[in-house]
Amino acid sequence: MKKIAVFLVDDHEIFRNGLKQLINNEPDMEVAGEASTGEDAIDILSKTSVDVIIMDIRMPGISGLDTGKSVLKDNSNAKLLFFSLFDNPDYVLTALDMGASGYILKDTSNKIFLHAIRTVHNGQFYFIGDVTDTLVRKYHEQRNSTVDIQSGQPSEISLSKREQQIIRMIHQGVTNKEIAESLGISIRTIEAHRLNILRKFQVSTIEEAVESARASLLLS
């Protein structure tokens, strides 16, 4: 069985060593490389293919967010998982916008950390605990900001043709895998569209998005 190749980017050597030991003790994954700065990560990952990149947010020099944007260009098939001390909503949403597959906090348990690696490697998103709460709060803030001050009514929701296709299929009970096969796109792309749909409707679950689409007459 091919092991999940993990790349670590964190400026604290002791912390990296702890993660290496934890990951290398697992039978299905291994640390394939590491870097202590964003600059080093960009250089190494321009020449190395890995499956999952674990990235700290705050590092000397180039930040983890800027580094993430760059390394995903050279590793388009890799999954980026941010591992941070901070649940700043702007960090989380920036991570989503750049195509990151997950964002978890450094006080999470070893079990959840390893589960997050396996989850994003399988093409799914992984956000937990305070990070999920942060996203929900941000959605509500954005929803409030889209209310027309004079009428007090939400502004019109505009979905792209692809998003309309996907939410109709979700409404029909079609799975992500089936949608991906039908439309000829990756599951990761489907998940990204789902998140965009949630953000446009300012809700936290796809079920709420479907109900909102029906109420907006976007679904029959």
Q: 205-215 pLDDT, tens per residue?
A: 888 888 888 87
pTM tops 0.75, yes or no: no
More confident residue, 201 or 53: 53
Q: Give residue limits of the domains in the chain.
A: 4-134, 146-215
CATH topology of domain 146-215: Arc Repressor Mutant, subunit A (1.10.10)
CATH topology of domain 4-134: Rossmann fold (3.40.50)
Query: Is pLDDT at 168 greater than 70 in this prediction?
Result: yes
Residues with Cβ within 8 Å of residue 27, at least 6 apart in sequence: 3
For the chain, what is the mean pLDDT? 83
Q: Alpha carbon of 19 to those of 48, 103, 110, 133, 165: distances in Å?
A: 20, 16, 9, 26, 41
Nearest Cα neighbor of 142 from 203, 95, 194 is 203
> Under DSSP, is residue 81 helix (H, G, I), strand (E, B) or coil?
strand
